[in-house]
């Protein structure tokens, strides 16, 4: 059964479906030497020669794709882009290399925001998780500079006007600290650009630090250092898939036996240490919230 070209490319890990639609529309994809167009359909695993920017790619059928998901602790100062003309660090720099596929970011965090960022090899999963119709919760720890009272918190819960429409926190409450180090936890169900910061700015309050601590029911893993990543077990992968009405994954590349699990843990520890070595030299400012909400 044929599928839309952008869906096949997304499933193979070359980007989200929306990103692939943009790439196709720009004339960067060819099928057997002919420039592809939106609406083209192909079969995953077919013998067609499909290229992106002239580079031959591997087409995979749905049965060939193993859905993998990483939880990454994004530091401040990294960009959510694959490359930067100015040579600044990106969130993809530290991720493990994979053959015949690519990691697709599930949404974005701006350069001054830290915390949990998910990556997957399944672009279709990324596309569905990002779609606002699924209302996936994102929870943030927020430190603000300015006077905050109960009336302001109520306005942020009920809705404030932004240039791209009304926005509100599904839940918002104090989370400890005092004075200039007072923290709040806020929950959103959409991922508009700089939404958290713009909502507080509408109340003439500046966000001095922002950290995502939960995506759906996946928390920022305890003990994971900034710049570190960990692969999620199949149970959590299938939680994400079920949340957006996708069939469960039945395979995993994580070791299942005890000896294999120990080897996997050692491997992860070594990779995490290498991944964060550059970040440690830069340091990090501000205090973290006292407690992570689940």
Q: Do 225 and 73 touch, CB atoms closer than 8 A?
A: yes
Sign of CA dihedral 240, 158, 141, 290: negative
Q: What are phi and psi of 60, to 5 degrees?
A: -125, 140
Task: Please state, in angstroms and as integers, the Cα–Cα distance from residue 286 to each residue in 23, 99, 143, 205, 245, following that order.
Answer: 39, 38, 10, 18, 39
Confidence of residue 290 (pLDDT cuts 50, 70, 90): very low
- Enter the pTM of the model: 0.76
Model confidence over 72-129: pLDDT tens digits? 999 999 999 888 889 899 999 999 988 767 899 999 999 999 999 999 998 889 889 9
Q: What percent of the chain has a predicted confidence (pLDDT) above 70?
A: 85
Rounded CA gap, 38 and 280, in Å? 45
Confidence of residue 68 (pLDDT cuts 50, 70, 90): very high
Using CB atoms within 10 Å of the CB of residue 230, give its burial: 0 to 12 exposed, 13 to 18 middle, 19+ buried. Answer: middle
Q: Do 44 and 51 touch, CB atoms closer than 8 A?
A: no
Q: Which domains does the chain have, with CATH numbers?
A: 3-64 (3.10.290.10), 67-294 (3.30.2350.10)
What is the Cα Rg of the chain in Å? 20
Tokens for 170? 């599904």
Q: What is the pLDDT of residue 257?
A: 41
Task: Please state, in angstroms and as integers, the Cα–Cα distance from residue 208 to each residue in 152, 180, 186, 193, following that order.
Answer: 17, 9, 15, 17
Rounded CA gap, 217 and 259, in Å? 29
Q: What is the pLDDT of residue 99?
A: 76
Report whether pLDDT(228) > 80. Answer: yes
In order, the DSSP letters of 98-122 are: -TT---EESS---TTEEEEEEEES-
SS3 184: strand
Active-site residue, selected from the candidate residues 53, 110, 164, 247: 110
Is 93 in the active site? no
């Amino acid at each position: 059964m044929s599928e839309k070209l952008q869906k096949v490319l997304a499933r193979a890990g070359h980007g989200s479906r929306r990103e692939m639609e943009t790439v196709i529309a720009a004339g960067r994809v060819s099928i057997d030497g002919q420039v592809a167009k939106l609406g083209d359909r192909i079969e995953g695993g077919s013998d067609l020669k499909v290229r992106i920017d002239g580079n031959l790619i591997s087409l995979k059928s749905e049965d060939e794709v193993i859905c993998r998901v990483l939880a990454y602790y994004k530091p401040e100062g990294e960009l959510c882009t694959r490359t930067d003309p100015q040579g600044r660090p990106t969130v993809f720099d530290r991720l493990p290399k994979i053959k015949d596929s690519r990691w697709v970011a599930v949404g974005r965090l701006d350069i001054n925001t830290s915390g949990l960022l998910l990556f997957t090899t399944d672009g279709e999963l990324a596309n569905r998780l990002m779609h606002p119709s699924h209302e996936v919760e994102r929870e943030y720890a927020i430190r603000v500079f300015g006077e905050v009272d109960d009336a302001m918190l109520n306005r942020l819960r009920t809705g404030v006007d932004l240039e791209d429409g009304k926005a509100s926190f599904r839940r918002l409450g104090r989370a400890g600290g005092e004075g200039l180090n007072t923290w709040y936890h806020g929950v959103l169900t959409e991922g508009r650009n700089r939404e958290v910061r713009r909502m507080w700015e509408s109340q003439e309050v500046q966000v001095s630090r922002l950290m995502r601590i939960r995506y759906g029911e996946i928390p920022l893993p305890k003990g994971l250092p900034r710049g570190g990543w960990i692969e999620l077990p199949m149970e959590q992968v299938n939680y994400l898939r079920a949340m957006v009405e996708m069939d469960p994954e039945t395979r995993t590349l994580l070791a299942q036996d005890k000896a294999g699990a120990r080897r996997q843990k050692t491997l992860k520890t070594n990779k995490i240490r290498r991944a964060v070595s550059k970040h440690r030299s830069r340091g990090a400012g501000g205090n973290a919230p006292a407690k992570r909400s689940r």
